[in-house]
Homo-oligomer: A and B are copies of this chain.
Amino acid sequence: MSIFLKDLKSIKPYTPGKPIEEVQRELGLKQVYKLASNEIPFIPTYLSKEILKELKSINRYPEASCFYLKRALAKQLKVNEDRLVFGNGSDELITLTLRVSIEKGDEVIVAYPTFLIYEIQAKAQGAKVVTAPLKDFRYDLEIMAKKVSKKTKIIFIANPDNPTGTYLTHKELEQFFKRIPKRVLVFLDEAYFDFAPSDYPRSLEFLKNRGNIIIARTFSKAYGLAGVRIGYGITTPQIATALNTVREPFNVNRFAQVCALAALKNKEFLSNVVNFVKKEKNYLYSELEKLNVSFIKSATNFILIDFKQNTTDIYNYFLRKGIIVRELKGWGLNGFFRVTVGRHNENKEFIDCFKVYLRTKFRSRKTRGGRR
């Protein structure tokens, strides 16, 4: 139909990890472990009071400014409130950023492979997507910098990256920024920053020095609030104003606002999550090594597994066992799948099933190269 942008047909819609409810419906399973979407396996139960209080105002529009949340977050980050923009998940920050800056034909640089939404939304906005291949499963900043042209408007950087789990250090990004013209907007997607190690970038310093940066973070991962949808951007007051101009006024629902506010205050939950993930990730690493399965070391709460062959069979095998992992063919990663760190029993079950699968399928096991 002529009303649609021609580019739209070239876009392959994003396929999310299979929801627990869907697997229960389709396979008639009661017990399903979801290790597919990098959610943490804990529920911030301290929220029920906030939620029930907020229910009393469910008929009222939320505060468009996220007033209390904005104040608390600004204080915690030590930035002015006019630098913050809230989104219906940090996904919305990606879309808003593209919407305020892209005119048809402008270029956007994204890694390949990386989080798919950058490319999907960039194309939807009419941008030309320029891809920069990874190097050893890491962002290749050298290549990315070389891809900058006069038409480049935005560079998207997922740090830590999804789905590889690798990260860029402060020094690496610092060097990178020296090479990127200030007119180019750099979108630093820090969805997994809570899990990242100590040499991880202090991005607020870059923002202060350079200006033209959007740092996007989310409450969906380490804070355990994926279901309620809230993320935020930290940027210059000018960019924040632009993003706030085009966002829908009530983009962040009431429950999201109070949950995020409570989450900021509850530091113990966050540190418990981070410690737990670290411990369980080490458990998974050591078990995968025992199985001679290759994987990429991760700065996040998920692990990219280099299965070295078609993943359809093992994906379906896990599914029938009630374990959802993430296939990555749509991401251009054939032969790989991604597993999220779950509860200990879930991780153990994943390993046990994996073990049985490998035994059954490869009775005469070949030696498999373990890449770290």
Contact = CB atoms under 8 A, between A and B. Distances in A.
Interface in A14-73: 14, 16-17, 19-22, 25, 34, 37, 39-45, 47-48, 51-52, 54-64, 67
A62 B212 contact: no
Contact of A95 (B5, B55, B248): B248
A169 interface: no
Which of A56, A95, A238, A255: most chain B Cβ within 10 A? A255
A143 interface: no
Interface string A241-275: 01011101111011110010000000000000000
B61 A245 contact: no
Interface in A83-115: 88-89, 91-92, 95, 99-104
Contacts of A41: 59
B5 A89 contact: no
A151 to B, nearest CB: 12
A21 B95 contact: no
A44 B55 CA distance: 9
A47 B42 contact: no
Given A34-B60, A67-B22, A104-B104, A250 B229 contact: yes
Interface in A148-164: 153-154
B58 A101 contact: no
Contacts of A184: 3
Contacts of A11: 245-246
A88 B255 contact: no
B101 A104 contact: no
Chain A, interface residues (CB within 8 Å), range: 35 or more
Interface stretch (A220-228, A307-315, A349-357, A360-368): A220-228
A228 B255 contact: yes
B13 A248 contact: no
A77 interface: no
A228 B255 CA distance: 7
B3 A185 contact: yes
Contacts of A37: 60-61
Which of A8, A34, A184: most chain B Cβ within 10 A? A8
Contacts of A246: 8, 11, 121, 124
A228 B254 contact: yes
Interface in A335-359: none
Given A4-B242, A43-B59, A248 B19 contact: no
Given A101-B5, A185-B3, A228-B255, A59 B42 contact: yes
Given A120-B245, A226-B250, 9 more contacts: A1-B212, A3-B101, A17-B61, A51-B55, A57-B227, A61-B227, A62-B229, A88-B248, A103-B104
